[in-house]
């Protein structure tokens, strides 16, 4: 069955099990009459015996109807809800009398304008986990980094290969420091699980770990000297991992026009979800963008079969700057 | 595709403008007109003393007819606040967009 979702201040969407559709009312100046049992010429031809008058009733009429158009699920709200009360670890005893918003899967289904599958997939993408069985939580970033640090330090002291980190030993060694579910969760978030000879191992995800370390460094200042940042960043990631600027797509932006070059944090998930608003905020941050720089910040806006190029054609204007094609806003941005 | 318990298939008739009851009355219960098909399968609608010619159109986007269910007004959080049931599907429409022509009976010429 299908579900219509939306709060009073939102535009209604219709959801199937795995897709989301915008709903619009279409008006027509024509009258639409619906007639049950009305026969088409083909159906009458097939039945040569009927030469009689068939009395049909018009069940009703309408001058408008609902139209559906497939759209991107509206998932920004999901992160927003879960960030109301990020999980900071068991040692932080929150005052139990204060009621923090906690969300079960059912709660999310009635609040988020997306299909169930899209919601569950997004929960996985943002590394949400169920704590106390029922409630979806996101880890507070510093706690997440603390967990990751425990794991990377253990990998280092045990001299394990980054591709073969044993779950069992991690739980044994770190279980006294943090809840076992959290250790397993951080391994699942930052590694790829596999089984070898009956034992569970993780292949650590270099790009994701480097990216997280970069975020940790960048969030402490407005911007950094690029070359200084790159040096500190490389020194801060686990032994054996190599940092690359392309790991930071959608997370940080390099300003090549400043002397010296700088880098600053810009997370795509902090930007507006609506297409026009997204482009407005991007053009407020920077007047002219190259396609390479802007792509990570608009990629998620692409509808089914839509390309970044098509989005740029629609929402931006192109020009040449020093022999390079750049995009700017179609209209003045306040 | 049809099967046991398949959804009813209705037909849409699309008319330009408005339909009004002859005398001041309601549309409900009144006769709209007669629908015929020519040998070529062209739909012909006779409404009052007008005749309309149309065409059969297979809808690119079929319609679903929804009927709202009278349900319990109070529902628990997480439960839907309303139910619609799909009553029928409409995949074909008879589109009448030519001007209705008045039907004039034959007037004999004066000799």
Q: What is the 3-state secondary structure (H, E, C) of A179-197?
A: CHHHHHHHHHHHEEEEEEC
> Does some domain include residue B73?
yes
CATH number at residue B39: 2.60.40
- The CB density around residue A167, as the number of other CB atoms within 10 Å, is 19
Give me chain B's average pLDDT, please.
Answer: 81
CB contact under 8 A, A32 and B10: no
Cβ-based contacts of B18 with chain A (< 8 Å): 31
Distance of CA A32 to the CA centre of its chain: 41
pLDDT at A47 over 70: no
Decide if B57 touches A, using CB distance below 8 A: no
Domain boundaries, chain A: 141-204, 237-329
B107 in any annotated domain: no
- Measured between alpha carbons, how far is B7 from B86 in angstroms, rounded to an integer? 8
Flag whether B67 is in a domain: yes
Q: Which band of pLDDT confidence, cut at 50, 70 and 90, is reported for residue A50?
A: low
Nearest CB partner across the interface for A33, out of B15, B41, B43? B15
Confidence of residue B3 (pLDDT cuts 50, 70, 90): very low
Question: Residue A298: which region, alpha, beta or left (left: phi > 0; alpha: psi -120 to 50)?
Answer: alpha
Residue A32 pLDDT > 50: yes
pLDDT at A279: 97
Which among B32, B43, B65 is the nearest to A34, CB-wise?
B65
- Pairing between strand B43-47 and B34-37? antiparallel
Secondary-structure class of domain A141-204 per CATH: mainly alpha
Residue B1 forms part of a structural domain: no
Report pLDDT for A132: 75
Token duo for residue A255: 């300003």
The reply to whether B106 falls in a domain is no
Residue B2 domain flag:
no
Asked if residue B79 is part of any domain, the answer here is yes
CA distance A124 to chain B (A): 22
User: What three-state secondary structure class fits B37?
Assistant: strand
pTM for the model: 0.84
pLDDT at residue B2 above 50? Answer: no
Q: Do A109 and B13 touch (CB under 8 A)?
A: no
| B89 close contact with A: CB closer than 8 A | no
Smallest Cβ–Cβ distance between B32 and the set A44, A58, A109 belongs to: A58
Domain housing B14: 8-21+30-101
The 10s digit of each residue's pLDDT in A116-160 is 999 999 999 999 999 877 899 999 999 999 999 999 999 999 999
pLDDT for B17 equals: 76
Average of per-residue pLDDT across B30-36? 85
Nearest to A35 among B11, B19, B97 (CB): B11
Quickly list DSSP for A266-311: --GGGS-SSHHHHHHHHHHH-S-EEHHHHHHHHGGG--TT--HHHH
Strands (E), chain B: 8-15, 34-37, 43-47, 50-53, 55-69, 83-96, 101-102
pLDDT attached to residue B62: 93
Query: Which pLDDT tens digit goes with each residue over A304-334?
Result: 889 999 999 999 999 998 899 999 999 887 6
Q: Report how many domains make up chain B.
A: 1
A44–B11 CB contact, under 8 Å: no
Q: Tell me the pLDDT tens digit for each residue of A172-207.
A: 999 999 999 999 999 999 999 999 999 999 999 999
> How much of chain B exceeds pLDDT 90, in percent?
29
pLDDT category at B24 given cuts 50, 70, 90 is low
**3-state class (DSSP) for residue A152:** helix
């Amino acid at each position: 069955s299908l579900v219509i979702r939306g709060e009073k201040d939102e535009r209604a969407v219709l959801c199937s099990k795995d897709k989301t559709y915008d709903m619009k009312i279409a008006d027509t100046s024509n009258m639409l009459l619906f007639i049950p049992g009305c026969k088409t010429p083909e159906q009458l031809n097939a039945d040569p015996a009927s030469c009689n008058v068939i009395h049909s009733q018009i069940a009703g009429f309408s001058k408008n109807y609902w139209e559906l158009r497939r759209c991107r699920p509206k998932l920004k709200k999901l992160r927003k809800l879960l960030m109301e009360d990020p999980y900071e670890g068991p040692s932080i005893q929150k005052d139990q009398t204060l009621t923090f918003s906690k969300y079960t899967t059912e709660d999310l289904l009635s609040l988020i304008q997306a299909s169930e599958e899209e919601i569950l997939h997004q929960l996985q993408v943002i590394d949400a986990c169920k704590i106390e069985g029922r409630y979806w939580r996101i880890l507070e970033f510093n706690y997440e980094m603390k967990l990751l640090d425990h794991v990377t330090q253990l990998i280092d002291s045990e001299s394990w290969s980054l591709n073969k980190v044993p779950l069992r030993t991690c739980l044994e060694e770190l279980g006294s420091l943090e809840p076992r579910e959290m250790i397993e969760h951080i391994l699942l978030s930052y590694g790829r699980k596999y089984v070898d000879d009956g034992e569970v191992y993780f292949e650590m995800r270099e790009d994701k770990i480097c990216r997280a370390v970069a975020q940790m460094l960048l969030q402490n200042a407005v911007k950094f000297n690029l070359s200084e940042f790159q040096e500190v960043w490389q020194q801060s990631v686990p032994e054996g991992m190599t940092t690359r600027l392309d790991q930071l797509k959608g997370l940080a932006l390099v300003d090549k026009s400043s002397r010296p070059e700088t880098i600053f944090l810009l997370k795509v998930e902090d930007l507006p979800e609506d297409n026009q608003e997204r482009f407005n905020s991007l053009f407020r941050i920077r007047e002219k963008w190259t396609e390479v720089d802007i792509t990570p910040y608009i990629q998620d806006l692409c509808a089914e079969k839509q390309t970044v190029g098509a989005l740029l054609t629609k929402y931006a204007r192109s020009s040449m700057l020093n022999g390079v094609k750049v995009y700017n806003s179609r209209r003045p941005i306040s | 595709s049809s099967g046991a318990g398949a959804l009813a298939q209705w037909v849409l008739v699309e008319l330009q403008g408005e339909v009004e009851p002859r005398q001041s009355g309601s549309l409900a219960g009144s006769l709209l007109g007669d629908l015929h098909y020519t040998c070529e399968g062209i739909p012909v609608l006779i409404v009052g003393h007008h005749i309309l010619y149309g065409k059969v159109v297979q809808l690119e986007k079929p319609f679903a007819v929804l009927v709202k269910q009278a349900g319990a007004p109070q529902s628990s959080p997480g439960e839907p606040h309303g139910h619609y049931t799909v009553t029928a599907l409409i995949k074909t429409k008879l589109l009448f967009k030519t001007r209705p022509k008045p039907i004039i009976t034959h007037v004999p010429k004066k000799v």
